[in-house]
Chains A and B, each alone.
Chain A
């Protein structure tokens, strides 16, 4: 199965009139794990949010398709139904809804009426995934992300990933703020998802995460587009030598999209 799960062509994305992504293209096939690396302010998180349909981002041109279907025409929930998942850098906190109730709603939202996951099966699956992620059982009954530490939120994102079993997951800086033990646990979760029917796009600053989740392809993003691609050895070179050699090679002075702006 090597049909392209996700195909992005010549994507341009703006926020409040400022263009952040400029002619961005990528293709991720089934079974592949891609990593996008790059310094701050180069458009990595914008890419993740725009693919999922974040209300703040405006797509000005280009296309995004999942198995040939036009993602940009879809509502946010339809994108998820089509198999997309975004592990967010800053997940929302929602009071009054327990993690378990939320997950069950999300799982059953993707199923036909009468085909809902039974409560017993749901609980069994939840217990199993929480064990794997070394999460305390009480997290199931806590309100969604409310009062969670940064690390707990990241684990909770991976828990959702494992429960929802999407076709293509985008992990937006899932490693930021994690200590090494938490990083290993999160990586274990992502690796458990590996398979020919699962594609993954990992967005990160650091090569560290890629020690645990070995990518098939590594891309470097600057000025809102991919400027260099390679295998996992590219990540190691970036870790050892930084980004300056790429800037020199390509004649880039400032890698950021817009100076004085977080993207």
Chain B
């Protein structure tokens, strides 16, 4: 028996919402298409996790505007903590409940033609570019009920565009904060790296209160020929937020895409991270770190599809489950017919700290080509009582010993993350979650 999902919008509301934002017709049409499909499409079916009773529609998408801050110091504390001191901030896009509250970019980047702005501004100023990539090849409106919902209610996000041959050396940082009562965030991020360009983008999702309810997040990354993109994320939404997050990348010939994902939400979460290695010689690496606690249920699916010859894809996922937390770690390496000389490797490791914690690792290799190499490793285990005995025999308390073991378990991933700021933020997030 499934609970009837409460639909909190209709066509007229969507139209009015779009008009209020002065959106072009094509974007309004995307919303209306989403609203229509929402009624007919089914929920996504993440392997081994039943989500039909999860409430992905609670809360409001039409959020009150939050006033922009004059400086970093007057941002909400939860944002400030992630950003640091004003003079250390080189680039930043901060949004609170979908409103842009702070932006900073450099003249140098602007002069080079780099676009780093919120999605609404990008729609107004760079309409053709946004139109080309919003719900482009990576993510479709009509995939499932939640992508349709996302299209209909889109209320935040960012657009990043790096022209060909431009190398952005400073990481572009974005913070998406959620604070209002019953707030629902439908955030869409687009990263476009043109030929032979390079960029590092880091995003944080953070709860400012316990009041928000839903996050429905989509990220599309397009790495053109020879481009290098590093995409870092630390998701840190509170226990009352039900999250659906899809992050996908398209990687062209000889391009590289690195994902560094810290999946630290405290609420129920379905996370899908997919990379299509489209071009010959394309390369992708996904590293994810997770700590589950309380009663949360999570499903993390990481997929790399090899289409191009000589493509390389690597997946490394480590997760720690505490309390009564449950998480499924699916890893899929798919090598398509014709993707000769490709190499796909994946590792999933899960450590369970309590009797009631549950973890499941499912590494899957799907190979339709003979001339390839591929491998996988997976392990799921409980904390080793002898390790605990050893640590405690040196005077370390059980809690501290667990903390050390968790850090130790996640360290092989954290230390290899390609983005320094993500490493730091993750260490702090881990520290908060192991206490």
Contacts and interface: CB of A to CB of B under 8 A. Distances in A.
Interface of A: 52-55, 75-77, 79-81, 85-86, 88, 91-92, 94-97, 101-102, 105-106, 109-110, 143-144, 160, 164
Interface stretch (B270-278, B305-313, B362-370, B395-403): B395-403
B390 interface: yes
Interface stretch (B10-18, B26-34, B371-379, B406-414): B406-414
A172 B363 CA distance: 42
A94 B393 contact: no
B54 interface: no
A105 B400 contact: yes
A96 B409 contact: yes
Contacts, number: 84
Contacts of B409: 95-96
B410 A92 contact: no
A143 B409 CA distance: 11
Nearest to A92: B390
A76 B399 CA distance: 12
A77 B396 contact: yes
Interface stretch (B140-148, B236-244, B381-389): B381-389
Contact of B392 (A75, A101, A110): A75
Interface in B30-88: none
**Do most interface residues of chain B lie in helix, strand or loop, or is the interface mixed?**
helix
Nearest to B403: A105
Contacts of B405: 94, 97
A76 B393 contact: yes
A102 B392 contact: no
Nearest first, the 5 closest Cβ-Cβ pairs linking A and B are A96-B408, A96-B411, A80-B395, A76-B392, A106-B394
B412 A77 contact: no
Contact of B408 (A53, A143, A160): A143
A106 B389 contact: no
A60 B212 CA distance: 54
A110 B395 contact: yes
Contact of A76 (B384, B389, B404, B408): B389
Contact of A95 (B395, B397, B400, B408): B408
B426 to A, nearest CB: 14
A173 to B, nearest CB: 16
B413 to A, nearest CB: 10
Nearest to A111: B395
A88 B388 CA distance: 14
B391 interface: yes
Contact of A77 (B398, B408, B410): B398
A77 B395 contact: yes
B396 A109 contact: yes
Contact of A55 (B389, B395, B411, B412): B389
Contacts of B385: 55
Given A96-B410, A97-B407, A105-B404, A80 B394 contact: yes
B390 A91 contact: yes
Of A55, A97, A110, which is in contact with the most chain B CB atoms at under 10 Å from its CB? A97
Contacts of B410: 96
B412 A80 contact: no
Contacts of B393: 52-53, 76-77, 79-80, 85-86, 88
Contact of A106 (B395, B398, B407): B395
Contacts of A86: 393
Contact of B404 (A54, A79, A97): A97
26 contacts: A52-B389, A52-B393, A53-B389, A55-B385, A55-B386, A76-B392, A77-B393, A77-B395, A80-B392, A81-B395, A86-B393, A91-B390, A92-B387, A95-B409, A95-B411, A96-B409, A96-B410, A96-B411, A96-B412, A97-B404, A97-B407, A105-B396, A106-B395, A109-B396, A109-B400, A143-B408
Contacts of A77: 392-393, 395-398, 401
A49 B219 CA distance: 54
Contacts of B404: 94, 97, 101-102, 105
Contacts of B396: 77, 80, 105-106, 109
A52 B386 CA distance: 12
B412 A95 contact: yes
A214 to B, nearest CB: 27
A102 B396 CA distance: 9
Contacts of A53: 389, 392-393
B168 to A, nearest CB: 32
Nearest to A83: B395
A86 B401 CA distance: 17
A88 B391 CA distance: 12
A113 B98 CA distance: 43
A9 B122 CA distance: 79
Interface in B348-373: none
A109 B394 CA distance: 9
A92 B392 contact: no
A79 B398 CA distance: 13
